[in-house]
């Protein structure tokens, strides 16, 4: 029962009693409610598909729909920009503006953010995929704030050219609703890491130094001078996707490897590799401290390989494996220069003992 079906006297009697009631939106029947969306163009809804939405609850408090419209109007909101899941609520809000005699704001319904596995990205499937949903998580996982803003801005939008890296000011200048896509945008974690990597590359070593030092201390690496850590940053900068990578992926800067990547060992360490590494180590032992630089280290390796009639990879790859424990990393001879003569020679000797 409602006030439209009861006699007027009965309605007044009930209103005058303690009987609880709600106030609903009276939706017209057999009408088309049409409005222009800034992204989707003209959108229309048939009124017979809408319910008579509760506006005031029995306790006198407004529901979201009434509060939303009144709040936006009293604050002078000119544009309502929200997700497309609210598109179905738009005709109810249009009716409310009409009934209250107010001019509705412009509306724009953004595309949903989609899961890499398909469907809307919800908290549940985001957790299952390891995608952070809380700002605090992005801070703890050391994402660059500017990279995250840049990445999110490009979800469902583009500036209309080939640019991918835009500062916040540039995003503000370039953004327009007419370039927002109507279809959902897939949240690609690999793309976010790519953005993060680009922003790290564009930062000066001196700006990254305090944060790298902090992470190094957290991993138990204390007392390293600024010059050493700055060189670590310089050598790892093109490979790091997060601040933590400078230490986690570059642990060999701080301690000698105790194990070696099995795939790299199978690929690089052959029957005669141990003797070849030993000969190179012996050459390095004879160098004076003033000759310990990347250029001279490379020259010594090239000379040995030329004498043997061997290609560069026959020694460079095993040497890298011996020094870092892995088959990839920054420029080998820069790494050796930074580690120093004693440490480099010790690592080469240890690898020969372990690997044969």
CA distance 121 to 119: 6
Q: Tokens 């609210």 belong to which residue?
A: 86
Start-to-end CA span in the chain (Å): 90
Question: Which listed residue (117, 120, 123, 201) is catalytic?
Answer: 123
CA distance 122 to 114: 8
Catalytic residue at 120? no
Backbone angles phi, psi at 31, to 5 degrees: -125, 155
DSSP characters for 134-190? Answer: SHHHHHHTT--HHHHHHHHHTTTB--SSS-----HHHHHHH--GGGB-SS-EE--HH
DSSP characters for 82-132? Answer: EEGGGGGGHHHHHHHHHHHT-PPPEEEEEPPEEPTTSSB--HHHHHHHT--
CB atoms within 10 A of CB 321: 25
| C-alpha distance from residue 255 to each of 201, 252, 324, 356 (Å) | 25, 5, 9, 21
**Per 3-state DSSP, what percentage of the chain is helix, strand, and coil (rounded to 5)?**
55, 10, 35
User: In 3-state terms, what secondary structure has residue 227?
Assistant: helix
Q: Tokens 């800067």 belong to which residue?
A: 253
Catalytic residues: 123
């Amino acid at each position: 029962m409602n006030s439209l079906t009861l006699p007027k006297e009965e309605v007044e009697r009930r209103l005058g009693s303690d009987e609880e009631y709600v106030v609903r939106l009276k939706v017209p029947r057999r009408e088309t409610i049409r409005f222009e969306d800034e992204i989707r163009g003209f959108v229309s809804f048939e009124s017979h598909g809408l319910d008579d939405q509760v506006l005031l609850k029995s306790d006198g408090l407004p529901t979201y729909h009434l509060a939303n419209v009144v709040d936006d109007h009293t604050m002078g909101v000119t544009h309502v920009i929200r997700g497309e899941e609210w598109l179905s609520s738009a005709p109810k809000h249009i009716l409310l503006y009409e009934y209250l005699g107010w001019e509705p704001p412009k509306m724009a319904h953004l595309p949903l953010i989609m899961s890499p596995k398909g469907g809307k990205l919800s908290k549940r499937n985001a957790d299952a995929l390891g995608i952070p949903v809380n700002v605090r998580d992005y801070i703890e996982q050391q994402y660059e704030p500017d990279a995250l803003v840049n990445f999110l801005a490009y979800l469902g939008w583009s500036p209309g050219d080939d640019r991918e890296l835009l500062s916040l000011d540039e995003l503000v200048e370039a953004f327009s609703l007419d370039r927002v896509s109507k279809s959902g945008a897939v949240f690609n974690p690999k793309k976010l890491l790519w953005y993060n990597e680009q922003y790290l590359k564009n930062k000066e070593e001196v700006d990254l130094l305090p944060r790298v030092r902090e992470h190094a201390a957290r991993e138990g690496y204390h007392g390293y001078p600024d010059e050493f850590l700055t060189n670590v940053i310089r050598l790892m900068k093109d490979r790091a996707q997060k601040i933590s990578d400078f230490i986690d992926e570059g642990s060999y800067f701080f301690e000698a490897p105790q194990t070696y990547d099995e795939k790299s060992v199978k690929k690089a360490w052959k029957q005669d590799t141990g003797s070849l590494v030993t000969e190179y180590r012996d050459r390095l032992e004879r160098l004076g401290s003033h000759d310990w630089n990347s250029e001279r280290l490379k020259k010594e390796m090239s000379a040995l390989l030329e004498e043997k009639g061997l290609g560069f990879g026959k020694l460079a790859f095993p040497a890298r494996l011996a020094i870092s424990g892995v088959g990839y990393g920054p420029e080998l001879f820069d790494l050796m220069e930074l580690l120093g003569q004693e440490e480099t020679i010790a690592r080469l000797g240890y690898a020969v003992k372990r690997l044969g």
